[in-house]
Structure 1
């Protein structure tokens, strides 16, 4: 195992964030960072450590009645030119790739892993690879398939950036293609054919009629939405098109599963039309009624809101583990050329999780 880079888990969390960011880890190239994290964690006798690809899982084994999971991904989107590494300080911010998404959160995990030798709950720390690109590579999904025992717990926290709040669960996501069919003809003689693109108007009208209201789940309000996100059709300026496609995206609250969401589109909104489902991802209930979740919210004493997007908390929900998002950073800076994270948020996130776990 390459050992060129050593992480000092005793340094303060902001300095550790800087160290983590300065080890580039673009998706599918997380090896050096995973190596450094594995070496640092294996030096801690109170943890058992497992490596799977470029994912590292560390667990306490104290026999506590509850086990919680703290999870974060190691990869970042690509660097920009001029390079947004190494990290630099600008006033109250750390600026550079990965500061917000999400090595500030990973630094918090590592500081807790190093210091909490006798936590009040057993803790599983999950550092996984390949979150930022297509789902087929996702390291958390791979762990769930190959080693679900490593992810078991009563409650999970994904340390994605949430800007001084707790974001419970997440919406589900479904994408469909709605096809309209016509008959090709010369555009000088349109009465000889049937224009499939003109039929798109009915699809768009159904989308407007098919909007869903807000939904309350476990005390949190989720906004639901149905949108056309793409339209294609036509082969030439002088041909009446015989085929058009509207790409439709549905974001639905986690009181529905993907089967119910699909039925809503196919059997209700677009009944009688040709619908092709091309992508689906379940949402996640926050489970705020669970004792571990309630204790988490009480300890942090921060605002709690619904996560309106989709995150990997849904993978924990699929395993029967309620989960929330909580971590340092403002989502607006994720993936930006000037990605940045307030240092006080990183410090505060570490302190909040210590209150809960120590």
Structure 2
């Protein structure tokens, strides 16, 4: 069994959907035992390690060690997580999202041979990514600001099955609520009230007519979307509703937002943003090509070569990019693997990501 497979097994076996402390302890202890790096653990629970000259440009290998709640089949009787290997894959909560990439980054951080001129190599594993980037935002607030970062979220299987690509952009997510207010009345006399559902429907029509923003990032088109995902209004079948709420899911693109504020031009309608996870755009083509070269070398025998791609899901790379770090995303997970009851990761891809991360550090 390879080092990255064994380390992934150990990490995945540690529960971290409600409390990431034990997983953070394991990562911190391993880094202190296996490297001579400067290892810190902040009060939020983030683990950060640094090696190399601190006056050089910094390159971070970034992941997170929290996971979404497991299915019953993914837990043991004593509360641990089940980890199984079969048919060349590791199965278990967090194998794909994203303890496999964290393990690969830990080993690459330890093993990379750095020239005296740098870079300063940084390893970071954050808490609370699944809760909207809690750990990443806390670290940034405390001054975490690498010049460049490879974020180990999934990028495998985008250009072709089994190929580990390099994502140079991803969408963000803005979740919002449109609230329509009217005046209640008996339904037998609807003209004596103001129907909030009708006003909400006018807002839905306005949303449906919006154009979706689109941008190009290093030759990749990234197209946003807006969708109404819920509507709730009315209190009884014989009462004209005085309030109606509409939930809206918007997938944002770098530098653009759909003009959802237009719904407030409708009488009695208000719009409020509930969550805004930022998109990511790589702003340095040379860095993207450096990571792509490492990805090509790590899978030189594959039928298809990796490509620069875009990714539909928000990640901590969005928060880092917003704070000024040049980012790409490159990692283990394949589309459809994360957050499932059969979550798994290819052993071959785990080992490949170790080679990619190490290769980036050594050729940076």
TM-score by shorter chain over 0.5: yes
Equivalent residues in 2 for 1:105-144, closer than 5 Å:
105-118=101-114, 121-133=119-131, 135=133, 138-144=134-140
Task: Show the counterpart of 1:14.
Answer: 5
- Report if the CA contact (8 A) 1:112-1:354 is conserved: yes
**Correspondence 1:41 to 2:37:** no
Deviations 1:35-63 (A, max 9, x none): 22212211345411111132211111235
Deviation, 1:101, is 0.9
| SS of equivalent residue, structure 1 residue 332 | coil
Q: Can you list the C-alpha shifts for 1:260-311, whole angstroms capped at 9, x where unaligned?
A: x37x221x4653442223332332221243x333322233232111122211
- Deviation of 1:193 after TM superposition, in Å, equals 2.2
Q: Say what the alpha-carbon RMSD is for the aligned residues.
A: 2.2
Deviation string for 1:151-191 (max 9, x for gaps)? 33221111112212222232233233222232222122223
Question: Which residue number in structure 1 is paired with residue 148 of structure 2?
Answer: 155
Query: Aligned to 1:342, which of 341, 346, 358?
Result: 346
Cross-structure match for 1:200: 200
Partners of 1:169 and 1:313 within 8 A in 2: no
Residue of structure 2 in register with 1:284 after alignment? 280
Give the aligned partner of residue 300 of structure 1. Answer: 295
Distance 1:180 1:350, change over 3 A: same
Q: Which moved more, 1:280-289 or 1:330-339?
A: 280-289
Say how many residue pairs are matched.
336
Q: In structure 2, list runs of 5 or more residues that go unmatched.
A: 76-80, 157-163, 297-305
1:194, 1:240 within 8 Å by CA — same for their partners in 2? yes
2:165–2:295 Cα contact (<8 Å) kept: no
Q: Match of 1:79?
A: 70
Normalising by structure 1, report the TM-score.
Answer: 0.86
**Deviation by residue 1:130-171 (Cα, 9 ceiling, x = unmatched):** 222355xx112111112x1xx332211111122122222322
Higher alpha-carbon deviation: 120-129 or 110-119: 110-119
Is the 2:290–2:360 Cα contact (8 Å) retained in structure 1?
A: yes
Using the alignment, how far apart are the partners of 1:133 and 1:277 within structure 2?
16
* Distance (Å, rounded) in 1 between the aligned partners of 2:35 and 2:293: 31
Per the TM alignment, residue 197 of structure 1 is displaced from its structure 2 partner at its CA by: 1.0
Match of residue 92 from structure 2:
96
Structure 1 residue 319: deviation in Å?
1.8
The structure 1 segments of at least 4 consecutive aligned residues displaced by more than 6 Å after TM superposition are none
Alignment of 1:172-211 (within 5 A): 172-211=172-211
Q: Distance in 2 between matches of 1:279 and 1:78?
A: 21
Contact 1:173–1:250 under 8 Å retained in 2: yes
Query: 1:354: which partner in 2?
Result: 358
Do the aligned partners of 1:167 and 1:306 also contact (CA within 8 Å) in 2?
Answer: yes
